[in-house]
Structure 1
Amino acid sequence: MNLRIDLFGGFRVYVEGRAVDPGMWTQRKPAALVKMLALAPGQRLRREQVTAALWPEFEPSAAAANLRKVLHSARRILHSVDGAEYIVSAGDLLFLPPGRLSVDVGDYWSLAAEARASRKVDAYAAAIAVYRQGLLPEDLYEEWAAAPREELHADFLALVGEYAGLLEAGGDLVEAARAVQRLVAADQLGEANHAWLMRLYALAGRRDEAQRQYARLCEVLQEELGVGPAAETQRLYEEIRAEQVSEPALTTDLWERVGDLRVQSGNPSAAVQAYAQALAAEPSGRVHRKAAGAWLMQHRPDEAEPHLAAADGFGPGPAEQGRLSCLRAQLAWERGDLAAAGRHAEEAHTAALAHGDEDDVAAALEALAFVSHLRGDWRPGLQHQIERLTGSALGQRVARFCDFNHCLSQYQLYGDDSTRDVDEYARETLALAERLDAVPAQAFAWCLLGESLLLRARWDEAAACLERSCDLYEPLGSRTVALPWLRRAELAACVGEHAEATVFLKRATTIATVTPMARHAWARLHATAAFAAVERGEPEAAVRSVRSARSAAARYGECPTCSALLNPVGAQAHVQAGAPEGAAELAAAAARFAGAFASSGWAAMADLAASYAAVAAGDPALARDRRQAAVAGFTRADHPFWVDRTRAEQAFQ
């Protein structure tokens, strides 16, 4: 490579192997131009993007004159022996020639992808080493550097978390703890990382440090959010105090924990392998049950059934028997026996209420809801659950109960046979919840009603309903539901109120940070953030949201329903940002999702994503065909905003 640009840990440039003297960059603007180009997708920017970032207060003509001077200065600094230009002009574009360039940020993305593909500790360590002290620490207050810095930082933290999991899997508890310490330092409110560090300390025999870590967590949660640790973290603390946390020499325990981490990150096939290692070392009913769950996550009932039978052979207690019933419900619906699935889900719920913990109750409620969804009677099933929950304190189950049903409600909002009367059902549910004084159910119903009105572009009515939902969810705590805030952000973006959209996204991010339903919250958050970025004319920011969504899915698992909007919007952003290679991948994801459920709305999203992929591939005829199909689909779904938006899209003109 003739030109090397390093942006991590400070700006450094090498031309044909020689380091450019930092003193050459006495003027900040030429350096800023090179940095911006190095960070941009495809290392290319439109001139107006550069002038808007560097001289936002100038008139266009004055800003353009300044850019010409800065461009001349940067080219003079980057002079080459053979006279080649390292900043090339092509019409309105400025770009760095890709065949002669390397950038450490690009190296990071490549190494991170390689690490995630190989799952090798050394590969992760190599990617993490590139990051150094973060992106351009000398430009902390430059707006043009803020978004890429946040994106890289978020991905880096996800990468460090995956690295720590691998180290723990290999029994290297000291290095795993060092990695998790970086996560805790970066996000003091990340309770899961505090708990992880506590467990690693305890496993390594450092119980005093584990207890001090818990004290620090309690302090920061109380100061920042006014809450205490989750019940699971409190239980872990009590185990540590009682010296009940398993020692690292117990290989079966380590493999079981690795399997749990892999399930949490949405990698059930790797979890099965970890549980097999644990069972080979020391068979147990609990691990057999977890292995069955991992197989069922992959829709493999034949492989799950022997593990369920083996778990029975260990004489499970009543709480564990309830957990097995919950899995048997899933096994039954995988085989199409919905009657048996319903019976097992009821058994799981009864056992959870009598003998289980909050997670057991929530899992049973989810099973009951999903059985109702598969039977086509989700609506009366939900109302029946609301009646059964009357008078009980949901506690931390609020988020799981509401979020899971919010996810299932999307099938009502987008289903061709159900969307027309969602308003009526939402109002019926609201009346029931008000009569029973079930506040979480009221919040749920207001949100569902607001979503229905939003999709039909009835902005004022939707805004009032969603605001009411937020008002009801708010007192229930920071670990509650993010969806109404995200729908308010979506509505604000639709009507051009971009500042409000940002406020709502920030509030939703606070919830997503601590919610037990992170898989749903982060999926929709990044999808909504991408949509808001495109609507305010910042496709590069939307591309970053797509990358962040992938990182979140790798960490928390994926919810295709909650991230459906990401595919067409992300495909559009990739085309607009000059990075067309990502459009085809998103279009394929949209097609897979739309093919799994009869929905004109989701099919229209897939057609829209496919139209952008066709634009990227240089096939305007196909792009027009898919765009017309998208318009027809949005029309059938009664989504007028998307009908008008798709018709007006300039990429097809």
Structure 2
Amino acid sequence: MPATCQVRVLGGFGVAVDGQPVPTHAWRSRRAADVVKLLATETGHRLHREQVMELLWPELPVEAAGANLRKAVHYARRALGDPGAIAVDGQVLVLWPDGRLDCDLERFDRTADAALASGDASACAAAAATYGGDVLPDDRYEWWAEERRAKARTHYITLLRAAGDWARLLELDETDEEAHRAMMRRHLAAGRRREALRQFEQLREALRERVGVGPDAETVALFETALAEGAEPPSVRQTVAVTLANGLVAWGRRNVEEAERLAKRARALALDANLGHELGEASTLLALVAYAKGTWHQQFREEFADSVRRSANLEGAVFDAHLCFQEFYLYGPEGHEGAESFGRDLLAIATEAGSPAGLALAHLLLGEFALLSGHVDEACEHLDRSLADAERAGCLSAQSIALERAAEARVRRGDLALARSLLDRAMPLAHSSGIRSHLVIRIHGLRVLAAGGLVESLGAVRHGERLLTSATHVCDPCSMAFRIEAARACARANDLSRARRHLAEAERISGLWQGGPWSAALWEVRAELRRAAGQNAQAAALFLEAAELYSTLRRPIEEDRCRAAAVG
């Protein structure tokens, strides 16, 4: 056996034997490389064969998984150039037992542990510099790699924190509040007050966009200190920022009344100063409070009526702030019950005010109601009018949603080419809107549904997966449709482990809604997984369960589809 095998897993996968790289084509099968990855990242580079089978082929019976493992080991040995490259010690597989095995992850862990134990900041910085990137980034959706990846990344972040490399930490996670505070203190100590204020604004924006929360009390207090150090009084925008931040602190502490008081004060200041962005933030906090108090419909109606009488800048801010709550209204436990009368009410208010943005929102709600009720032609009429009004108002998010829903209506009609064309128009609008974390993933979900075949559908799944694993925040509830459609597509492709991962995420997110159409959709996906596994009787029972739930929610298109699948 050659003396040295070098395995790289940080930032990508690669193997070299005695300095000679193993070419990609030598592996012959993906699972051959996966066996080497598993063993290389395991302590001692050894793993029981049953553990390997469970990690790589969890859906297969023991005999089939064992056969696959034997084949994968055979091809891995051939790629590494020696039959002893992977030895079998009893029931345990061992990588490179008779030579020197050098894994970059193992070296990084040793260096990191030594640096952290020393307590020396420069040693920690030097150790952090040896981190070549996340573990196996190309295997992002292989669940067996997740624990190894998370552990190494945590090690890296701990090194950066010990080294005081706050700028690098913020490159990795723009919501790292400790890093933002450290940068604010550094700016203040150097007399750079404006930079400290800008740092707070960056944090506030990142938390709002990516997490949906505000800075904590310690950070807000530091911001107020920076404001107090200035010769000039705080601007209205800065006063609103402090008020909103404290309101979110109160919300986080479940002090609903204080959160509502501060949100109303911030909203009044934002309205008087015509601050659309800040009005949107205040409206979001008020919507949270109203939902907790069971008064969201009344709150939204009041804000809608007030905003349509003001500038389009403020109308758009209110529209964006209430998006997720409107979707909860349509997809929550009670389904779309009452949506038509609510939409008609909003339409009357917007018509009287002559507000294009208000008309766009009202027609959107009516179009969504018609679509969910199975009235596709009526839905198309409302959604086309919504799009026209949104274009007149210059509201990007309203245009994106109208196009997205119009595409869904065309899918229901069977016009997939037109649906894809509408989604192509919607995507740049979603990216340019103020609520891209909500809108972009929704379009990816519909692209899976509107695909022209299984290959195109799986391609759309991969695009959505890349978005979900990128640094860009994605709203969990808004990703629900993508998770459902991705699970279906993967089940049809017989990639059951991948389908189950998307289903598991959908099940987690559905906990936000107890009941409702997503619960029915989950039963439908479970049925498709059973059918893909050849368990047709169980699949039929689950399809009927989904059909009954859809019937209760008055979703005829979905009900008919599930009943047909149960007997098909």
- TM range, smaller chain: 0.5 to 0.7
2:218 is the alignment partner of 1:306: yes
Q: Deviations over 1:199-254 (max 9, x none)?
A: xxxxxxxxxxxxxxxxxxxxxxxxxxxxxxxxxxxxxxxxxxxxxxxxxxxx99x9
Structure 2 match to 1:274: 179
Q: Tell me if structure 1 keeps the 8 A contact 2:308–2:315.
A: no
2:489 is the alignment partner of 1:573: yes
Q: Deviations over 1:406-429 (max 9, x none)?
A: 321111112334622110000000
Structure 1 match to 2:111: none
Give 3-state SS (helix, strand or coil) of 2:475's partner. coil
CA–CA distance in structure 1, aligned partners of residues 130 and 239 of structure 2: 37
Q: Tell me if structure 1 keeps the 8 A contact 2:490–2:498.
A: yes
2:297 is the alignment partner of 1:382: no
Residue 133 of structure 2, aligned match among 114, 123, 139: 123
2:406 is the alignment partner of 1:501: no
Q: Deviations over 1:24-52 (max 9, x none)?
A: xxxxxxxxxxxxx999xxxxxxxxxxxxx
CA–CA distance in structure 2, aligned partners of residues 501 and 631 of structure 1: 26
Structure 2 match to 1:543: 458
2:250 is the alignment partner of 1:332: yes
Q: Identify if the C-alpha distance between structure 1 residues 487 and 18 changes in structure 2 by more than 3 Å, giving closer, same or farther.
A: closer
Q: Which amino acid aligns with 2:438?
A: H
Give 3-state SS (helix, strand or coil) of 1:599's partner. coil
Q: Which amino acid aligns with 2:459?
A: R
- For structure 1, the residue ranges without an aligned partner over 5 or more in a row are 1-15, 21-36, 40-96, 104-117, 129-165, 171-250
Q: Which amino acid aligns with 1:573?
A: A
User: How many correspondences in the alignment?
Assistant: 434
2:404 is the alignment partner of 1:486: yes
CA–CA distance in structure 2, aligned partners of residues 407 and 362 of structure 1: 13
Shift of 1:392: 2.9
Q: Which amino acid aligns with 2:499?
A: A
Shift of 1:502: 1.6
CA–CA distance in structure 2, aligned partners of residues 476 and 18 of structure 1: 53
2:486 is the alignment partner of 1:476: no
Q: Identify if the C-alpha distance between structure 1 residues 18 and 304 changes in structure 2 by more than 3 Å, giving closer, same or farther.
A: closer
Q: Pairwise mapping of residues 610-621 of structure 1 onto structure 2 (< 5 A)?
A: 610-615=526-531
Q: Which amino acid aligns with 1:429?
A: L
Q: Which amino acid aligns with 1:368?
A: L
Give 3-state SS (helix, strand or coil) of 1:596's partner. coil
CA–CA distance in structure 2, aligned partners of residues 558 and 648 of structure 1: 34
- For structure 2, the residue ranges without an aligned partner over 5 or more in a row are 1-21, 31-70, 80-127, 139-155, 189-195, 229-233
Residue 377 of structure 2, aligned match among 457, 460, 478: 460
CA–CA distance in structure 2, aligned partners of residues 416 and 17 of structure 1: 53
Structure 2 match to 1:636: 552
Q: Identify if the C-alpha distance between structure 1 residues 506 and 282 changes in structure 2 by more than 3 Å, giving closer, same or farther.
A: same
Give 3-state SS (helix, strand or coil) of 1:451's partner. helix
Q: Tell me if structure 1 keeps the 8 A contact 2:367–2:383.
A: yes
CA–CA distance in structure 1, aligned partners of residues 25 and 336 of structure 2: 62
Structure 2 match to 1:212: none
Q: Pairwise mapping of residues 60-99 of structure 1 onto structure 2 (< 5 A)?
A: none
2:539 is the alignment partner of 1:597: no
CA–CA distance in structure 2, aligned partners of residues 123 and 341 of structure 1: 41
Shift of 1:323: 1.2
Q: Tell me if structure 2 keeps the 8 A contact 1:470–1:485.
A: yes
Shift of 1:622: 5.0
Q: Identify if the C-alpha distance between structure 1 residues 557 and 299 changes in structure 2 by more than 3 Å, giving closer, same or farther.
A: closer
CA–CA distance in structure 1, aligned partners of residues 555 and 24 of structure 2: 58
Shift of 1:381: 1.5
Percent identity (aligned): 21
CA–CA distance in structure 2, aligned partners of residues 465 and 519 of structure 1: 25
CA–CA distance in structure 2, aligned partners of residues 646 and 565 of structure 1: 17
Root-mean-square deviation (CA, aligned residues, Å) is 4.7
Q: Identify if the C-alpha distance between structure 1 residues 399 and 529 changes in structure 2 by more than 3 Å, giving closer, same or farther.
A: farther
Q: Which amino acid aligns with 2:463?
A: S
Larger mean Cα displacement after TM superposition, 290-299 or 417-426:
290-299
Shift of 1:500: 1.5
CA–CA distance in structure 1, aligned partners of residues 284 and 265 of structure 2: 13
Structure 2 match to 1:421: 338
Q: Identify if the C-alpha distance between structure 1 residues 328 and 547 changes in structure 2 by more than 3 Å, giving closer, same or farther.
A: farther
TM-score (normalizing by structure 1): 0.57
Shift of 1:549: 1.9
CA–CA distance in structure 2, aligned partners of residues 338 and 19 of structure 1: 60
CA–CA distance in structure 2, aligned partners of residues 411 and 361 of structure 1: 21
Q: Tell me if structure 2 keeps the 8 A contact 1:611–1:624.
A: yes
Shift of 1:641: 0.9
Q: Which amino acid aligns with 2:133?
A: A
